[in-house]
Structure 1
Amino acid sequence: MSSLRLDVVTIFPEYLSPLDLSLIGKARRDGLLDLHVHDLRDFTHDRHRTVDDSPYGGGAGMVMKPGPWAEALEHVVAQGSAGGAEGDGDGDGAAAADSAAAGARVPTLIVPGPGGEPFTQQIARELADEAWLAFACGRYEGIDERVYEWAGERMPVRVLSLGDYVLNGGEVAVLAMVEAVARLLPGVIGNAESLVEESHEDGLLEYPVYTKPAEWDGRAVPDVLLGGNHRAIAEWRHEQRLQRTAERRPDLLPPTAVSTVLADLEERVATPADAPDLQILTRACWAPEFARYGMFSAGEEDLETVRTGIQEWDTRVWRRDGQLLASVRVRPHPTQESTWQIGRLMVAPYLQGRGLGRELLSYAESLAPDDVRTLWLNTGAKSTENLRLYKKAGYRVRPGEGEFPGTVDLTKRRSAASLPA
């Protein structure tokens, strides 16, 4: 069984010591992983072992110098191509150039950084199929950009990001990536079946898991898991994965899953009996706006105000199993002739970001009578997500302040093609 070679270049070699622990450490001892850690400072030529300097153009921080990185990566390529033990580095540059010229194998270079493509389970699987990976751990303000160009002429280079945040260096990211990749190698995980239903393996999050005792602190394990009906258990787990993904990571849901949710919704005209649920949905949708922009007070509307709104507007609600998931209201504008007013377009927070708002907007537009020529709506002046949705749908912001303080009005001319036949 061939092993995966990993080379890591860093100014803090001791940072990688956790890779000696747990299953990854065992994989190294079993010969499944061939890990080599290189100190970037070994490739400097001054008594202070300097790896950084001030940035051209000014600015805060320091930038990692290209020279040490080029020598370190040449050393990695030469040692890995030769397949030997770590040497003293003499002649590495020539060996690396000869290897590249001869078409010899080279590593895929991974550079962790917040400006890279998101590191996902799919990418982990792609990297697990590689024979050789090298990691460059940047520090300070980053690595001189010319190193990426230089390395790209000699080996594949991928800049990968753990997420939308900044770390002090690449070492933490390397620890995470190496573990994510290495555990996919045959023989690293004892029970390979445990990899199949994990979070992100098929785009969904993992279902909740339980162990003994069957009841703890007044909380019972779901009955379906105790009955021994494997088909029922599989169906329950799949439903739990869909539900958990919708609640926590709706961006991961495939379009087919969203369409299924929409098809199951019951749509009807709201009545005063819907007021309590509409009040809750309004608060849930307004709370983020209030927190971000201080514009709307999530608790400013009492039930009587909500009931009045139901009477003054044609309000539509969408429910599933009795739960209110979405709503929008429309009416002829009270002061502007031939204008259709659209308001309170709301989607339950855990379903947002999946295109439901755009569908509701189209539906609200379709309810306009034949004589309507202008579509009108209002949103917060700083509500970037709403503004993006409305502008993409063809609405334009009108000059000046909107109908309410801190808001803007948007309008769209109703085209002849959109009128009922």
Structure 2
Amino acid sequence: MRLDYVSIFPDYLAPLRLSLPGKAVASGLLELHVHDLRDFTHDRHRTVDDTPYGGGAGMVMKPEPLGEALDTLEVDGVTVVVPTPSGRPLTQALAADLATRERLVFLCGRYEGIDQRVLDHAAERAELVEVSLGDYVLNGGEVAALAVTEAVVRLLPGFMGNAASLVEESHTDGLLEYPVYTKPAAWRGHEVPPVLMGGNHGAIAAWREEQARERTAARRPDLLHASALAGGDDGWEVVPASPADAPELLTLQLACWVTEALVNEDLSIPPLHEDLDDVLAGIEEWDTYVVRAAGRLVGSVRGRRVPDEPATWEIGRLMAAPDLRGRGLGRVLLEHAQRVAPAGTERFTLVTGKYSEANLRRYKRAGFRVVETYDGPSGPVLLSKPRRRR
């Protein structure tokens, strides 16, 4: 991934060369370029700001230097990220989405912000993502750019020494992470909970789940509320997809398959390389179904007859929003995809990555069995299940 930063304080971004990002640069996983916005000015004072039209306090960043920077960096078709208090909130899902891009260009604003025409112009030639760290104001966009970078690049395959470190973190399943402990067992009157030292992995998993929910309820009850809005095992309504669902389906697809790419260390997985037209074509070619919660598209699955095997019903693109995983949505979608198979269906098939252990466990519990592993970085693995006669 290539990352470009435009700032009037390029030294502010020096930490990008430290720790794991620095190692990723050294290994060639990341390519970093920091650009001084003043290099794109042409007056002797290297002016980058001016007074706002309409009056008011502060200064506004001029369009000419930023426009020249966009031209020089050849941003057409890439993703331009603008940290701003008026942007969309930075979430784990957004970070996962940005991690699928080949190149990000950060425009770090200062003063009262960037002339709106720069943003409008950028949106005409690139994907524009305005992002906020939270409901507060910083002196400039550099700190936010560093935070967005950290959230994104740690999701790249090969960035973390142990990919499993990404699995049980805050916000990966809609909850905050449970408390963690290490040696010694007792320290300054505080002891490690006995359950963690008992060796009962089932009890440990249950304790961690309980702790995560208690911590989320105490610190971020809004997260639990969002999950509750989504319903539960009996609250999901699965309905046919329409072409209007395609943009949200594409976003959900990218968010879900980043996880698969990380687990399988395979960026060639087809869903990561599709665009809106591909998703629209899929809705036409497959029987596609979606689930919405509080107006948001949170799940989808699709099925079709295999062209050369009319008795086989192929199930694909089973997706549940990352923040709602573990709440029964995937099971409901899988059951629905089997239930709507047409008369004459004798078997179901689906595929998943050969290293996608969670998926493999889920499908085996549902009665699917591995019948073939294809020759590729991530397989995939083909699973099959006979249709029960009623």
TM-score, structure 1 as length reference:
0.54
State the 1:217 CA deviation: 1.4
Aligned residue among 167, 181, 191 for 1:196: 167
Matching residue of 1:27 = 24
State the 1:11 CA deviation: 0.6
| Two-structure CA RMSD over aligned residues (Å) | 1.7
The DSSP-based 3-state class of the residue aligned with 2:125 is coil
Q: Is 1:230 matched with 2:201?
A: yes
Matching residue of 1:113 = 84
- In structure 2, what is the Cα distance between the partners aligned to 1:122 and 1:48? 42
Q: Deviations over 1:337-370 (max 9, x none)?
A: xxxxxxxxxxxxxxxxxxxxxxxxxxxxxxxxxx
Q: Is 1:142 matched with 2:139?
A: no
- In structure 2, what is the Cα distance between the partners aligned to 1:242 and 1:197? 13
Q: Is 1:181 matched with 2:166?
A: no
- In structure 1, what is the Cα distance between the partners aligned to 2:176 and 2:34? 34
- In structure 2, what is the Cα distance between the partners aligned to 1:56 and 1:118? 28
- In structure 2, what is the Cα distance between the partners aligned to 1:188 and 1:155? 26
Matching residue of 1:86 = none
State the 1:202 CA deviation: 1.3
Q: For residues 57 and 126 of structure 1, do their structure 2 counterparts lie closer, same or farther at Cα, with a shift above 3 Å needed?
A: same
- In structure 1, what is the Cα distance between the partners aligned to 2:210 and 2:59? 50
The DSSP-based 3-state class of the residue aligned with 2:81 is strand
Aligned residue among 242, 251, 255 for 2:222: 251
Q: Is 1:207 matched with 2:182?
A: no
Aligned residue among 155, 163, 187 for 2:126: 155
Q: For residues 63 and 256 of structure 1, do their structure 2 counterparts lie closer, same or farther at Cα, with a shift above 3 Å needed?
A: closer
Aligned residue among 19, 34, 39 for 1:37: 34
Aligned residue among 33, 37, 47 for 1:50: 47
Q: Is 1:66 matched with 2:74?
A: no
- In structure 1, what is the Cα distance between the partners aligned to 2:224 and 2:128? 30
Q: For residues 256 and 166 of structure 1, do their structure 2 counterparts lie closer, same or farther at Cα, with a shift above 3 Å needed?
A: closer
- In structure 1, what is the Cα distance between the partners aligned to 2:193 and 2:227? 28
Q: How does 1:76-87 map to 2 (within 5 A)?
A: 76-77=73-74
State the 1:255 CA deviation: 5.3
Q: How does 1:88-127 map to 2 (within 5 A)?
A: 100=76, 106-127=77-98
- In structure 2, what is the Cα distance between the partners aligned to 1:164 and 1:254? 20
State the 1:158 CA deviation: 1.0
Identity rate, percent: 67
The DSSP-based 3-state class of the residue aligned with 1:188 is coil
Q: How does 1:395-406 map to 2 (within 5 A)?
A: none
Q: Give 1:39's aligned amino acid.
A: D
State the 1:259 CA deviation: 10
- In structure 1, what is the Cα distance between the partners aligned to 2:41 and 2:228? 55
Q: Give 1:195's aligned amino acid.
A: L
Q: How does 1:280-319 map to 2 (within 5 A)?
A: none
- In structure 2, what is the Cα distance between the partners aligned to 1:209 and 1:164? 28
- In structure 2, what is the Cα distance between the partners aligned to 1:135 and 1:220? 45
Q: Deviations over 1:293-329 (max 9, x none)?
A: xxxxxxxxxxxxxxxxxxxxxxxxxxxxxxxxxxxxx
Q: Give 1:18's aligned amino acid.
A: P
- In structure 2, what is the Cα distance between the partners aligned to 1:158 and 1:255? 24
Matching residue of 1:277 = none
Matching residue of 2:188 = 217
- In structure 2, what is the Cα distance between the partners aligned to 1:203 and 1:49? 47
Q: Is 1:13 matched with 2:10?
A: yes
Matching residue of 1:390 = none
Structure 2: state its 5+ residue gaps: 232-390
- In structure 2, what is the Cα distance between the partners aligned to 1:188 and 1:152? 30
- In structure 2, what is the Cα distance between the partners aligned to 1:257 and 1:108? 33
- In structure 1, what is the Cα distance between the partners aligned to 2:208 and 2:228? 16
TM-score, structure 2 as length reference:
0.58
State the 1:186 CA deviation: 1.1
State the 1:258 CA deviation: 8.3
State the 1:254 CA deviation: 4.9
Structure 1: state its 5+ residue gaps: 79-99, 101-105, 261-421
Q: 2:174, 2:227 within 8 Å by CA — same for their partners in 1? A: no
State the 1:47 CA deviation: 0.7
- In structure 1, what is the Cα distance between the partners aligned to 2:229 and 2:54? 49
The DSSP-based 3-state class of the residue aligned with 1:253 is helix
- In structure 1, what is the Cα distance between the partners aligned to 2:2 and 2:186? 47
- In structure 1, what is the Cα distance between the partners aligned to 2:163 and 2:213? 23
Q: Give 2:182's aligned amino acid.
A: T
Q: For residues 172 and 255 of structure 1, do their structure 2 counterparts lie closer, same or farther at Cα, with a shift above 3 Å needed?
A: closer
